[in-house]
Structure 1
Amino acid sequence: MENLLTDRDFWVKYWESKTDLSVTIPSTYLFHRQLADIVTTNKVQTAIELGGFPGYYAVFLKKYLKLDVTLLDYFVHPPITEQLLKTNGLASDDIHIIETDLFNYTPEKQYDLVLSCGLIEHFNDTADIINRHIAFIKPGGTLFITLPNFKALNGWFQKNFDKENYDKHNINCMDPALLAKICKDAGLEVVQSRYFGRFSLWLENEKQKSLPVRLLKKTMWLGGKLFTKVFAFDSKQLSPYIILEAKKS
């Protein structure tokens, strides 16, 4: 339990606080190019999204890349996932669901692609959680992990205006060099481990924040977008995400 920065109660409250979860996933969904390249280059047929409820990336992979997809998470509320599938023109059985504790689960099969988006930063032991991903990968398969970069300006904003959410994240793991080393130590070939994206700011449950905080966020967001439109590059200081891609031999 010391490895966890969140618990089941946190995630139940988190998802209960959300509205309009059943959204149409666009073909240009975040990281769509990276995922499409992986699927095409490696002839991917099967994929599993870890910690991905309600299943946005699982839906993307099924809807647009036509993969055999599984979603695994500690907390799954079936009506939400079923409505998400329906909204995106998919049947309720188009995605396999596994509701389980990743730390007490032995993979029953392995997959061509194992991905998580915003999962590993909620654990203190980064090597352990990444190695749990690796256990799901077929030989020759691909690992794809994304996480927020709270060492960037976005992290400063989170720390000062949403400290409770900030404290649910392992800031030390937000280091491309560290992530690459963990994968290399596990015998994987690192394809890329880098900062990703020009600039962004966000707040959980933004509508509940005070007006001055929302105005500051909007002002900083606009300023950052204008700056990175002129000076377009990925960086530790401004990029909102980190992406990791590695292959299992």
Structure 2
Amino acid sequence: MNLTDRDFWLKYWENKKNLALKVNEKYILSAYLKRFKKENSIKNAIEIGGFPGYYSIYLKKWLNVDTTLLDYVIHPKVLDEVLSVNNMSKKDITLIETDLFNYQPTKKYDLVMSVGVIEHFDDTKNIIEMHTKFMDDNGVLFINIPNFTGFNGWLQKTFDPEIYAVHNISSMNIDLLKGICEELNLKNITVEYYGGFMMWLENLHTKHVLFRALFKIIWFVLKVISKLIPIESKTFSPYINIVAYK
């Protein structure tokens, strides 16, 4: 079962501010994408559930990869704004607006990736299997999801329960994810916590000014500590990354 629907995402993107982000060469997760390009000779890629397409833009703009963006909702106005600020247009990226579960791939890809997608579904194995259907022989699967099993998860659950509720927290389990990849006959599987300390709230701008000030102080102190002691862990890392091969 999906934990979100089309209306949820339409309202989400229409209410989201500052989406026209300029994607630079050191965009988050870029080190992974550069490595895949170099080691696996990536020529084409698909970003599943990736609207507004930051990684599709990155792959095309900085790595010259033929990129497809597939999502259930592609908001035309938002997409135009994001592409424009990156000096790109819709002709630079292939767009597929569809329900992933009712779509039969017509093409296979060297790289299949998603960021912040699989945790919105109850059946984690099923949604990962949907990704593998797009993989070419020797293709790379790269999935990034938030880690809400530590400090940041407590923050979301306590101060933004509506957003927390549309995430499948049980999917954020390294052993579970590795086991699913093994069951799907993927190879060279790596599942790991990623990133130093980070905390965020979708609705921070709606909170009282004193709360926002305290939030920033806590963020700053813990960020400094994480820089001095850079340990990726279940407690403080903001993400989980999955890398696997066909």
TM-score, normalised via structure 1 length: 0.96
2:45 counterpart letter in structure 1:
A
Of the candidates 50, 61, 64, which is equivalent to residue 62 of structure 2? 64
The secondary structure found in structure 1 opposite 2:176 is: helix
User: Offset of 1:213 from its aligned partner?
Assistant: 2.9
Q: What is residue 115 of structure 1 aligned with on the other side?
A: 113
Q: What is residue 27 of structure 2 aligned with on the other side?
A: 29
Of the candidates 64, 83, 86, which is equivalent to residue 85 of structure 1? 83
The secondary structure found in structure 2 opposite 1:172 is: helix
The secondary structure found in structure 1 opposite 2:148 is: coil
2:197 counterpart letter in structure 1:
F
Of the candidates 10, 13, 16, which is equivalent to residue 14 of structure 2? 16
Structure 2 gap segments, 5+ residues each: none
User: Offset of 1:215 from its aligned partner?
Assistant: 2.4
User: Offset of 1:20 from its aligned partner?
Assistant: 2.3
Deviations 1:70-112 (A, max 9, x none): 0000000123212322211223200000000011111111100
- Does the aligned pair in 1 maintain the 2:160–2:203 contact within 8 Å? no
1:148 aligns with 2:165: no
Q: What is residue 207 of structure 1 aligned with on the other side?
A: 205
User: Offset of 1:140 from its aligned partner?
Assistant: 0.4
Moved more, 180-189 or 76-85: 76-85
- Does the aligned pair in 2 maintain the 1:194–1:242 contact within 8 Å? yes
The secondary structure found in structure 2 opposite 1:36 is: helix
The secondary structure found in structure 2 opposite 1:93 is: helix
Distance 1:186 1:208 in 2: 43
1:184 aligns with 2:182: yes
The secondary structure found in structure 1 opposite 2:39 is: helix
After the TM superposition, which segments of 4 or more aligned residues of structure 1 sit over 3 Å from their partners? Answer: none
Q: What is residue 42 of structure 2 aligned with on the other side?
A: 44
1:36 counterpart letter in structure 2:
K
Distance 1:11 1:215 in 2: 29
Distance 1:190 1:151 in 2: 25
Of the candidates 219, 237, 243, which is equivalent to residue 241 of structure 2? 243
User: Offset of 1:224 from its aligned partner?
Assistant: 1.3
User: Offset of 1:131 from its aligned partner?
Assistant: 0.1
1:161 counterpart letter in structure 2:
F
| Count of residues in correspondence between the two structures | 246
Of the candidates 57, 76, 90, which is equivalent to residue 74 of structure 2? 76
* Alignment RMSD: 1.1
Distance 1:216 1:8 in 2: 35
Deviations 1:198-241 (A, max 9, x none): 10000113211222332232122112111111111100011000
1:90 counterpart letter in structure 2:
M
- Does the aligned pair in 2 maintain the 1:180–1:190 contact within 8 Å? no
Distance 1:219 1:199 in 2: 14
Q: What is residue 124 of structure 2 aligned with on the other side?
A: 126
Distance 2:185 2:218 in 1: 41
- Does the aligned pair in 1 maintain the 2:10–2:75 contact within 8 Å? no
Q: What is residue 92 of structure 2 aligned with on the other side?
A: 94
- Does the aligned pair in 1 maintain the 2:49–2:72 contact within 8 Å? yes
2:7 counterpart letter in structure 1:
D
The secondary structure found in structure 1 opposite 2:90 is: coil
Distance 1:20 1:236 in 2: 30
The secondary structure found in structure 1 opposite 2:91 is: coil
2:235 counterpart letter in structure 1:
Q
User: Offset of 1:22 from its aligned partner?
Assistant: 1.4
Q: What is residue 195 of structure 1 aligned with on the other side?
A: 193
